[in-house]
Each structure stands twice: as structure tokens, then as C-alpha cells.
């Protein structure tokens, strides 16, 4: 069964304090692992797609990495505006399903 688990559920950081969010997955025929940012009252905003183990992508203070079992979203020197819920999802090549994890809510304090 396709499944995505994110940890931690919530994370509080001081501005400038780097950390990582985890996304563990099981999926039949991975055709992409997606990261999104969601602000309250809005739809998810696409950040990255990763396709194969060893792949890395970066955008400003965010860096996403992928292994065969999990993905990490590294946040370097975060700022208060990085506060949001970060969602991970996997696309099954066998079924076409796009399954989400529960998300990690990040709060960055000045």
C-alpha cells in the first residue's frame, strides 16, 4: 500500500537555526516525490520534484534530497517568512495516485 509519513508534525526554530524535515515513503513504482509549501487559507505551492535516489534540488534556503526510502527538506538559516506547513507527496507510476503525508508545520521565530 502506498504510504507517506512526515516528521516531525511540528517544528519551532529560531531565526537562523538550520534543521531538516523528513518524508518517509512506500510506493509502487515511484514516478516523482513532490514537496510543497502551504500557507494558512491557501492551496499548496509547488516547491520541488525529485525522481531518483541521489537527486538534490535547491531553492533559496531550501534543499531537497531523495533516497530510496525517504526524502529530506533541509532549511538553512530560516527566516520568519519560511513559517508554513510543508507537505510531501509521492506519485505512483503503477496507479497514477498522488498520495500526501500529513505535513510538518514550521514556525520560525525572530
Partner 1 sequence: NAGVTQTPKFRVLKTGQSMTLLCAQDMNHEYMYWYRQDPGMGLRLIHYSVGEGTTAKGEVPDGYNVSRLKKQNFLLGLESAAPSQTSVYFCASIRTPGQGTQYFGPGTRLLVL
Phi, psi angles (nearest 5°) of residue 29:
70, 70
Indicate which single residue of 14, 40, 43, 54 sits in contact with partner 1 (rule: CB under 8 A): 43
Least Å from the CB of residue 66 to partner 1: 13
In whole angstroms, give the CA distance from residue 10 to residue 58.
Answer: 22
- The beta strand positions in 1-110, using DSSP E, are 3-7, 10-14, 19-26, 30-38, 45-50, 56-59, 62-66, 70-75, 84-92, 98-100, 104-109
Least Å from the CB of residue 87 to partner 1: 7
Q: Show the binding pattern over residues 1-40: x = contacts partner 1 (CB under 8 A), - = does not.
A: ------------------------------xx-x-x----
Q: Show the binding pattern over residues 65-104: x = contacts partner 1 (CB under 8 A), - = does not.
A: ----------------------x-x-x-x-xxxxxxxxx-
Amino acid at each position: 500500500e502506498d504510504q507517506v509519513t512526515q516528521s516531525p508534525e511540528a517544528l519551532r526554530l529560531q531565526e537562523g537555526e538550520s534543521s531538516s524535515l523528513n518524508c518517509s515513503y512506500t510506493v509502487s513504482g515511484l514516478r516523482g516525490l513532490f514537496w510543497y509549501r502551504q500557507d494558512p487559507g491557501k492551496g499548496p505551492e509547488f516547491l520541488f520534484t525529485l525522481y531518483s535516489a541521489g537527486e538534490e534540488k535547491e531553492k533559496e534556503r531550501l534543499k531537497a534530497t531523495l533516497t530510496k526510502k525517504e526524502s529530506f527538506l533541509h532549511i538553512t538559516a530560516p527566516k520568519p517568512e519560511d513559517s508554513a506547513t510543508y507537505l510531501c507527496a509521492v506519485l505512483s507510476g503503477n496507479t497514477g495516485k498522488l498520495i500526501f503525508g500529513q505535513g510538518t508545520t514550521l514556525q520560525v521565530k525572530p
